[in-house]
A and B are shown apart, each in its own frame.
Chain A
C-alpha cells in the first residue's frame, strides 16, 4: 500500500507540473485555435531566468526568502515578455494565414529560442540552486513525499484556484471567455480581441515560468533543451483533457502524470511514454474531444 501511495504522490507531482504548462497551451488554443509549439521553450526560459537571477542573488549574499520571491517574479515577468513577443512576431501577422502557417512559425520559434539560449548561455547542464528548503516537519515522511513535492502540489492548487477566479469574475477573464466562444461576436460587443490574445499569452507564459522554477528546483538541474519534452507532454495532457478547456487541462495533466507513474511502478519505465500515448489514443477513440472538451458537432 505504501508503494501505491508513493507512486500516486509522484504521479500527482508530475501531473501538477504538466498542468502548469498545459494551461498555457489550452488557453491559447481556446482563444485562437493555435498549437503554440514554442510554449515549452517559454517554460525553459522561465527556468533559465530564475536560475540566472537566483544564482546571481545568492552569490551577492541575499537571504533565501528574498531570492525565492525575486527569482519567481523575474521568471514570470521575463517569460511573459517572451510569450508576448513571440505572439507579436510569429503569430499576430499570421492571424489570417492558412491554418498550418502559424504551426510552422511556432516550430521555427521553438528552434530559434532553444539555440538562442544555447548560444547566449551554455550547452552544459547547470545546477539549479535549492530554492525549496527541506522542511523539518516533513522529515518523518521524507521517504514518501519530499518538501519540494509538497510545495509543488500546494502552489499548483493555489494557482489553479486563482486562475479559476480570474477567469470567472474579472473583466479580462470574462473577455477571454467571450473571445474563446466567438471571436467575431466578441469584437462586435466591443472587446479588444488583440489585447485579450496578448493577455492570454502573458498569463500562460507566467504560469509556465512558475512551473519552470518549481520543476527546476525540484530536480536540481537545467539546460537549454528541457522545454521540448515537457512541452510535448503538457500538450498531450491538454488534448487528453479536451483542448481549450481549463479544468480539462488540469484533469488531463493529472491523469497523464498518474498513468506514467503507475506504468513505471507496476509495469516498466521502458514503455512509460508508450502507455501515456496509448491512453491518449484510447480516450480519444471513445471521446474524440477529450475528457472535458465540448463535443465539436457542426450543424449544417
Chain B
C-alpha cells in the first residue's frame, strides 16, 4: 500500500509538471506578476483586473500589431525569493513584456533576471527610488512616481504650509515605509526649518501602539510623518485621538487608500496624505473605473489606475515599435506620448513616467480631498 500511494504521488507530481511545458501560438505574451495571495494580495489583485480589462478591450479591437495579447498571471506573494523563481518561469515561458512586480523588494530580485533575458518590466507600484535612479536597470519602467517625489512635497507641505517645527518621523520598519521615512528625515534636516524630534519604527501587527503614542506626546512634536501602510497608520491615529492629542498626522500614498478612512472612521478626519495626482476628471480614468464596475461589480482597488495606464503604455509602445524587441520598445516608451487614466505620459531616460506626480490630500468628511 505504501508503494501504491508513493507511485500515485509521483504520478501526480509528474502530471502537474507537464502543463508547464505547454506552448501557445503566435501572440504577444504579457506577464502579470505580483502578490495575488497572502496578506498583500489586496495590493496585487487590482493590477490583474486592470490588465485583463485593457487586454480584453484591445483584443476585441483586433489586438496589437495584428497579434492577440495573452496574459500570463503569476503570484509572487511579494517575497523576493519567490519573485526570482517567478521571473525565471516567465522567462522560460518566453514572455514578451511584464507588468509588475508589485513590491519593491520582489522587483529588485526579479529585475536582473528580466534584464539578462532582455525583457521590459513596467511596474504600477514599485516606488523604491533605487530602481530607476541607480541606472542599473535600463529595462525598468514605472507609472508611479518614486518615493523621493512624495517625501519632498510631504516635508515641504509640513514645514512651509503647516509651519510645524518639531516633527516625529515614524515608520513601519518595512522596505517601503522605512524608505519614505528616511527620505523625509533627510529632507527635514536639510531644510534647516524643522527638527526631527523622534525617529522610530513600530512593529506591524503588534497588539497595541499606546507606548509609542505616549512617546510621541512626550517628544512634544507638532506633527507626525508616518511612512508605511494604512493598518498601522489608522491604529496610531486612533490611539492619538483617544489620548486627546491634536498632533497633525501626515503620511504617504500607502495610507491614501479608501480603507484607511473606512477603518479609522472619524479619527481619520484632518489627516494629510500624499497620493498620485487627482485624475477623477480624466475621461479615461472614469471609463476605466466604469469598466471595472461593470466587469467585477465593485470599486477598483489600490494601484488600479496606475496598472491600467502601465498596460496601455507598454502595449502602445509595442504597437508603435512594431515589435517586442527591447531596444525598439524602450525607444517608443520614451518618445511616444500616450493618453492614460493617470494623464498623458511618456518615460524619461531612467524609466520614470513624465507627467506623473504627487499631490497632497486631506481627509474631509470621510473623503480624501486635494489640498490646493
- CB–CB B39/A225 < 8 A: yes
- CB–CB B244/A223 < 8 A: no
CA distance A123 to B39 in the complex (A): 6
CA distance A273 to B211 in the complex (A): 13
- CB–CB B231/A125 < 8 A: yes
CA distance A268 to B41 in the complex (A): 31
CA distance A225 to B207 in the complex (A): 12
CA distance A11 to B211 in the complex (A): 7
B25 close to A (CB within 8 Å) = no
- CB–CB B202/A225 < 8 A: no
CA distance A282 to B39 in the complex (A): 34
Query: In the complex, which of the residues A124, A219, A268 contacts B259, with contact meaning CB atoms closer than 8 Å?
Result: A124
- CB–CB B201/A270 < 8 A: yes
Known: A10-B210, A124-B42, A261-B211. A143 touches B243 (CB 8 A): yes
Write out, one digit per residue, whether chain B residues 35-79 have a CB within 8 A of any chain A CB (1) or not (0): 000110110000000000000000000000000000000000000
B42, chain A: closest CB distance, angstroms: 5
Q: Which residues of A contact B231 (CB under 8 A)?
A: 125, 221, 223
Q: Which residues of A contact B173 (CB under 8 A)?
A: 270
Q: Which residues of A contact B243 (CB under 8 A)?
A: 142-143, 146
- Name the CB-closest residue of B to A272: B203
CA distance A192 to B264 in the complex (A): 49
CA distance A242 to B74 in the complex (A): 46
CA distance A17 to B217 in the complex (A): 24
A229 close to B (CB within 8 Å) = yes
Write out, one digit per residue, whether chain A residues 6-27 have a CB within 8 A of any chain B CB (1) or not (0): 1100110110011000000000
Known: A124-B42, A215-B208. A142 touches B242 (CB 8 A): yes
- CB–CB B205/A226 < 8 A: yes
Write out, one digit per residue, whether chain A residues 66-86 have a CB within 8 A of any chain B CB (1) or not (0): 000000000000000000000
CA distance A127 to B234 in the complex (A): 10
Q: Which residues of A contact B202 (CB under 8 A)?
A: 269
Can you list 25 A-B pairs, Cβ within 8 angstroms, ordered by A? A7-B211, A7-B214, A10-B211, A11-B211, A17-B208, A123-B41, A124-B259, A125-B263, A142-B242, A142-B244, A218-B208, A219-B235, A220-B234, A220-B238, A224-B39, A226-B205, A226-B207, A229-B203, A229-B207, A230-B207, A261-B211, A269-B200, A270-B173, A270-B200, A273-B203
| 6 smallest beta-carbon distances between A and B, as pairs | A10-B210, A264-B211, A261-B211, A229-B205, A127-B263, A6-B214
A: residues with CB less than 8 A from B are 3, 6-7, 10-11, 13-14, 17-18, 123-127, 142-143, 146, 148-149, 215, 218-221, 223-226, 228-230, 233, 260-261, 264-265, 268-270, 272-273
